[in-house]
């Protein structure tokens, strides 16, 4: 009887995210942005054939910020390998490093986080007036508006006049003189 024992030896890990560049729009609309970091575990069997396994979360995985002072930029969701930016964060950075750990191995994943500032509402006309006619319901002229911001962060270039209209919630009041 021949007994063959096959073993597998872990040789390393690689962690990644599909999107490592984020804009913190949560400060505009309270919607958090979340990115997951799957971990690829590489191992060799006794015939030196490599295999890879993708792990998204297990008891053997953990994540931490390389620099704890960057917790005002990005947050790791507890007991996961997911990061989020939310409305409590107050800045951006070109280099936020998250260390992904699996067993005794670790791998850095770097994020670039843009932070909006100098938010402005831009109108195509300064005033709109009521249109008088035969209708019982008052009607007003219309105008186009968009919201712009400056995107920046630590060691990032300053990019001005970025249209962020899709990321904000705009509403008007129903008073006799409508206002945003």
pLDDT (tens digit, 9 = 90+) per residue, 87-124?
888 999 999 999 988 888 888 989 999 999 999 988 88
Nearest Cα to Cα of residue 92 among 3, 165, 162, 175: 162
Interstrand relation of 159-163 and 145-152 (parallel, antiparallel or unpaired): antiparallel
The answer to whether 77 and 83 are in contact (CB under 8 A) is: yes
Residue 134 predicted with pLDDT over 70: no
């Amino acid at each position: 009887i021949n007994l063959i024992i096959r073993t597998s030896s872990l040789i390393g890990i690689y962690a990644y995210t599909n999107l490592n560049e984020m804009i913190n729009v949560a400060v505009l609309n309270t919607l958090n942005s979340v990115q997951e970091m799957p971990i690829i575990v590489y191992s060799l069997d006794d015939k030196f054939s490599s295999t890879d396994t993708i792990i998204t979360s297990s008891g053997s995985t953990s994540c931490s910020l390389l620099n704890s002072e960057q917790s005002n930029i990005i947050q790791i969701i507890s007991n996961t390998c997911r990061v989020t930016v939310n409305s409590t964060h107050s800045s951006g950075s070109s280099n936020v490093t998250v260390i992904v750990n699996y067993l005794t191995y670790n791998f850095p994943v770097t994020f670039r986080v843009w932070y909006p500032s100098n938010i402005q509402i831009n109108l195509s006309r300064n005033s709109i007036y009521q249109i008088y006619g035969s209708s019982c319901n008052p009607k007003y002229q219309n105008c186009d508006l968009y919201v712009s911001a400056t995107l920046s962060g630590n060691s990032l270039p300053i990019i001005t006049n970025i249209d962020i209209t899709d990321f904000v919630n705009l509403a008007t009041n129903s008073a006799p003189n409508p206002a945003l």
